[in-house]
Structure 1
Amino acid sequence: MTELLESALHNCALTHYLEKFKDNDVDDNVLKTLTDCAAGSMEERLLAEIVPSVGHRLKLIAAVRELGKSSSETEQRAERAQVEETMKIIVIDNNISVNSQNSESVGDLTVDQAEAVVILQPLFDIKSIILKSDEEKGTTKGKQLLEEIGETNVINYRIKTVIKRRIVNYLVKQYSYYPSKHEKQNLAECVASQLFQNLSNQQQKDIMNLFYSPSTVIISNSTGSSVRKRIPASGLIEERLRHLRKKYSVGLSINVVSSSSESYAPSEDDEGKKSWLAYSSSPQSQVLEYMAQTYPMRTAEIRNTKDISVTLSQWPRLLETVGMIDQDFSFRHPEKNELMLRNWTQIGQQIWQAAKNTKLDVTNELGVEQHINNWTTDQVNNGSLILLPYLLSNSAYTRSGKKRRRITGGQSSYFFLQFVNATEDLEAFRLSELTRKQPFVLCVGNLKTLTIQQAYIMVERRLIAAETLVKAVDTCFKIFHVLQLQFPEECYGVWSFFDHSVFKINEITAPPSCVLSLSSQIIF
């Protein structure tokens, strides 16, 4: 069976190795052994014989692990669905006799007119979260609180304040300052059911609503016509999240926030791994493992600093080791890592069509000699990226002092994707680049003929080579998210398009009108 092998090779665009794997009788089980082995082992050498390129091996290993993680999550969802389907608990009304002749029997319980409540596997272990926080803070306050709740089953101001702070800190670490409604609701349900299990169902429901009540829409007919009114989400969890977002100036666009007294507290083991990564670039398997294990620590540090150069000097493997940006991005946004690479051919075709519909003059505006109607498939794939700044610049402005200055398509393109001739000295270009502080894409080639010889990402005077232009833009976008950087205002619409329409991350709640207009023409 080679389903895993084929999927992994497809996801990292290495399908040309498929026949070589099959010639060596590598099935899914053998693949797992080859990609999950110790550094210097026989398995590692055998994999190197099949895939000589170090970069390709790292991509394959990352793809296999990602698929394994997805498979595990799918199995967990299936198990949860089975529990939802087969296991139910009956809430008995005290006014109903269990010996009623008209009653129904479920397991050992016999009730009439009972309410069925689905038993779900808990998403959060609240007691462990509180006790783990005790360890990090060097206190026993959480333990004492749990003992008090067990004895009294009472929730007062002091208890709810401690619980709120501990669980929301955990929520932010795991799911960012903008967790989903599902995560917040499950967290509140777990607090009620795990800490106050001796209370009645209605009391537990009240505690759940105390911690989180989702937004609702009510319809009023008081004026003779229906008026829809949205009631925003409320509760201790939502209040705490709003407080933290305001305190640290965390917006839905990607912002860097100031240091926090409640930030992630790294262990000695984390610090040791960080130190090893600062000075070691091999073995690759060890780098991959340590980078994955130090992700929470690294994310907290990035969140609490405004100096990107400090981050990159302390975590050099982030840019110097292939696949690390993809790995951190997949942790930050699960299941979105391959969206652009998988769908760009289809998206690019529709962007090209939109440019034709708007009669964009690619010769005079972009400098491309060949008429847009005559572009080849490869030219459309790459050219659609070059078209974006011109399609999305109609509402782009930047502030100069107190005045707003209109940004042209060419100016937007300069901050998004720049072409240089093959004869240009890239080292001199790298050292002289001071204008653009945020990452951008650099193409070595000829814009007139849409010929691309090599693509790079430029960040902090570092040039990172990419296999294709599409991959360069994909990596550049991920760098913004991994390093928690703001999109440049000169090409804000372009990166907003990728955020809103390609990766569908939705951290930008109000994309520019030009983005919404183009997105309405994109279907995939």
Structure 2
Amino acid sequence: MKTVHRKIRRGFLPLDSPHDVSPGGPKCQRATNFEGQLDGSACKEAISLLSHTTEKSLIFQKMRETFQHRQELIKDPGSSVDILSTFPRFLDTKGLVGQDFTLLFDTETSSRLLQKWDTFFRPNVIKDTKQLTSTAEMSQFLLSAECPEGSDLHETRGLKSPKISPCDAAERLVIFHKSCCSLEEPLNNIQHQHPYFLAVGRQKSKTECFYIILDKHLIPCQANCSLGAFDELFKAHFVFNLSYDGALVNFYTFLQTTVYNIDEGKMK
């Protein structure tokens, strides 16, 4: 990303390029005209049913049939704050974030990070990182990257500046929480204004489950690994129409355009 910025300053990627004109990202208005969507009284009945049923297949069906209505609510500032109370199944049913993201885009886009990260991006990131000036922090991240899934996660600490280190950036994405402690603790103590994911386990190397924390609500992740949990965290920005954390916008934009291939050519 630093290379991209240097090229912009040198004129290789003009700031007035047509590629920079069209907006993109999670809050971009997208077509939501889907088949099989409920409206009117049928939509209200489905939402009412979703508040009471525990049948998983029915939950996924009714959430799929109310997707367009939900997108309209999410994009309305007056109703978006109530989206998790209107659709409480997000809070206890794994996989609904992924289903909405797939409806918004497609199956191919939805699967790109998990399909491409380990086979292409991860080895190349490691290769390029080894060519950089080594620091203690860099060595720690390289060790984590080269180890099997479940290696060191980072606990949170305060953040004072939007210009942050890699460790501080990681701590805006993931918080580790011991499974023996109440989940109310991270909800009450962490002041993140943007979504992040919570890794829960007896120790950092033995994570048992993951949650997305959104507006002090816990959304259970379907994934049982950190890469899958991050995949769901990224998707939550689009599903709930949320801006990226300002300190991480370049990181998220790189993943959005280069890994997921969303809004290519529309964003810097």
The structure-2 alpha-carbon separation of the partners of 1:255 and 1:507, relative to structure 1 and needing over 3 Å to count, comes to farther
Partner of 1:342, secondary structure, is helix
- Are 1:412 and 2:169 counterparts? yes
Counterparts of 1:428 and 1:455, CA distance in 2: 15
Counterparts of 2:104 and 2:237, CA distance in 1: 12
Corresponding position of 2:97: 325
Q: Offset of 1:422 from its aligned partner?
A: 5.2
8 Å CA contact 1:256, 1:304 repeated in 2: no
Corresponding position of 2:113: 340
Aligned length: 234
The equivalences for 1:351-430 within 5 A come to 351-361=125-135, 364-365=136-137, 368=140, 372=143, 375-378=146-149, 405-421=162-178, 424-430=181-187
Query: Which of residues 460, 471, 476 is equivalent to 2:233?
Result: 476
8 Å CA contact 1:411, 1:490 repeated in 2: no
Partner of 1:418, secondary structure, is strand
Q: Offset of 1:306 from its aligned partner?
A: 5.8
Corresponding position of 2:71: 299
- Are 1:485 and 2:242 counterparts? yes
Counterparts of 1:482 and 1:306, CA distance in 2: 17
TM superposition score normalised by structure 1: 0.39
Deviations 1:1-51 (A, max 9, x none): xxxxxxxxxxxxxxxxxxxxxxxxxxxxxxxxxxxxxxxxxxxxxxxxxxx
The structure-2 alpha-carbon separation of the partners of 1:350 and 1:418, relative to structure 1 and needing over 3 Å to count, comes to farther
Partner of 1:456, secondary structure, is strand
Identity rate, percent = 20
Corresponding position of 1:287: 59
Counterparts of 1:372 and 1:355, CA distance in 2: 11
Q: Offset of 1:269 from its aligned partner?
A: 1.1
The structure-2 alpha-carbon separation of the partners of 1:406 and 1:265, relative to structure 1 and needing over 3 Å to count, comes to same
Partner of 2:252, secondary structure, is helix
Deviations 1:249-292 (A, max 9, x none): xx4232388xxxxxx99322112212221x22322222221111
The structure-2 alpha-carbon separation of the partners of 1:499 and 1:432, relative to structure 1 and needing over 3 Å to count, comes to same
The structure-2 alpha-carbon separation of the partners of 1:506 and 1:462, relative to structure 1 and needing over 3 Å to count, comes to same
The structure-2 alpha-carbon separation of the partners of 1:256 and 1:317, relative to structure 1 and needing over 3 Å to count, comes to farther
Deviations 1:198-237 (A, max 9, x none): xxxxxxxxxxxxxxxxxxxxxxxxxxxxxxxxxx8xxxxx
Corresponding position of 2:212: 457
**Structure 2 letter corresponding to 1:461:** K
Counterparts of 2:44 and 2:85, CA distance in 1: 15
CA RMSD of aligned residues (A): 3.6
TM superposition score normalised by structure 2: 0.72
Q: Offset of 1:488 from its aligned partner?
A: 0.6
Query: Which of residues 80, 87, 95 is equivalent to 1:315?
Result: 87
Counterparts of 1:272 and 1:432, CA distance in 2: 37
The structure-2 alpha-carbon separation of the partners of 1:407 and 1:288, relative to structure 1 and needing over 3 Å to count, comes to same
The structure-2 alpha-carbon separation of the partners of 1:444 and 1:293, relative to structure 1 and needing over 3 Å to count, comes to closer
Deviations 1:438-493 (A, max 9, x none): 2102224656xx55444332222223244111111011111101111100112212
Corresponding position of 2:34: none
Corresponding position of 2:12: none
The structure-2 alpha-carbon separation of the partners of 1:353 and 1:506, relative to structure 1 and needing over 3 Å to count, comes to same
8 Å CA contact 2:198, 2:210 repeated in 1: yes
